Structure 1
Amino acid sequence: MAVTQQLARIPAEYLSSCRRSAGESPDGDPRWDPPQADVLDLDWAPSLLERVCVLGGLDGVHLDALRQALTGDPAVDLGFLNTHPHAIGPFGPDPTALSAAEVAHVSELLGQIDFPALLATLPTDEAEAATLIGNDAEGIAGGPRKYLLGHFDALRAFYRDASRRRLLVVLWWD
């Protein structure tokens, strides 16, 4: 099974409740179970999305926002979500999160990125584009453009909805 990046939109109160549950449970069970409609599976697209943005010459402010959207804030202590036997991200680093204010900021900047224009800077030949992107992009069925555009659009819509609803975003690898 491949390790993929997961994101969940949740209210701050839900995260507090999970923290309390983990502290009160004899085996550290946080009772983490966000609604499926508020979970996004980014597959293994994050590094590929970042690479296209770098290759396309995306400016530092927007590139930093994309990176923050994909990595969260490592200073946020969510280790309680990664305690055996209830770890939500047993194959990667501890989960991270972005506050509702950070989500709003990231959402605004993601909304300003013209991802199709960044993809247009790649060679027109899919095989050449995949080789330039690297990270096994050549293994993507149908080529990387459609795959990455779909994942970028999903990421942007996910953050836009989280911002609109004033939710925070938790990120982990599973």
Structure 2
Amino acid sequence: MIALLDRAVSGDPDGNVGFLDHAEVYDGFGDPPRLLAPAAVADIAAALDRVQLGDLLADMPASPADAAAVCGFGAGLRGAFSGGGRDHPAEHIVAVREFYRTAARHSQCVVTWVD
């Protein structure tokens, strides 16, 4: 699951989008922009559709602060988890799933990068 989410957020290493690799777009923080071709988008969408959220989050602590800690957030970011400990990650996984599902349905590429 971690590799799947990393690919969905970070793109494929060979998916460099050179026309976006300049100072006005990419400031050198993290990886440069990467392209996920329509086939990769469809692969990610299918894999996300197979994820069973209940099983994935079954061992997640109920406390938002404890859940944030398990996910690797430091004390300063633990307040970013709202609702129950499972609600925040579930909400974001569902959003990523729907994003990739829609992009795959339209045979679209996805450009990824952390800004």
Calculate the aligned-residue CA RMSD, in Å. 2.0
Give the secondary structure class of the aligned counterpart of 1:77. coil
Stretch deviating more after TM superposition (101-110 or 127-136): 127-136
Q: More strand by proportion, 1 or 2? A: 1
Aligned to 1:157: 98
**What does the per-residue CA deviation read over 1:119-164, in whole Å, with 9 as the maximum and x for residues that have no partner?**
2212233333232222235232525532222211110000001110
1:123 aligns to 2:46 (yes or no): no
- The structure-2 alpha-carbon separation of the partners of 1:142 and 1:111, relative to structure 1 and needing over 3 Å to count, comes to same
Structure 2 gaps, min length 5: none
- The structure-2 alpha-carbon separation of the partners of 1:141 and 1:107, relative to structure 1 and needing over 3 Å to count, comes to closer
Give the secondary structure class of the aligned counterpart of 2:73. coil
Asked if structure 1 preserves the Cα contact closer than 8 Å seen for 2:103 and 2:109, the reply is yes
Asked if structure 1 preserves the Cα contact closer than 8 Å seen for 2:65 and 2:79, the reply is no
Q: TM-score, normalised by structure 2?
A: 0.80
Percent of counterpart pairs with the same letter?
A: 35
1:1-174 to 2 correspondence within 5 Å? 62-84=1-23, 86-87=24-25, 89-90=26-27, 91-136=29-74, 138-143=78-83, 144-174=85-115
Q: Could you tell me how far apart the structure 1 residues matched to 2:88 and 2:61 are?
A: 16
Q: Could you tell me how far apart the structure 2 residues matched to 1:134 and 1:76 are?
A: 27
Q: Could you tell me how far apart the structure 2 residues matched to 1:99 and 1:141 are?
A: 32
Q: Could you tell me how far apart the structure 2 residues matched to 1:131 and 1:77 are?
A: 33
Structure 1 gaps, min length 5: 1-61
- The structure-2 alpha-carbon separation of the partners of 1:78 and 1:113, relative to structure 1 and needing over 3 Å to count, comes to same
CA offset at residue 94 of structure 1? 0.7
Aligned length: 111
Computing the radius of gyration over CA atoms, which structure comes out larger, 1 or 2? 1
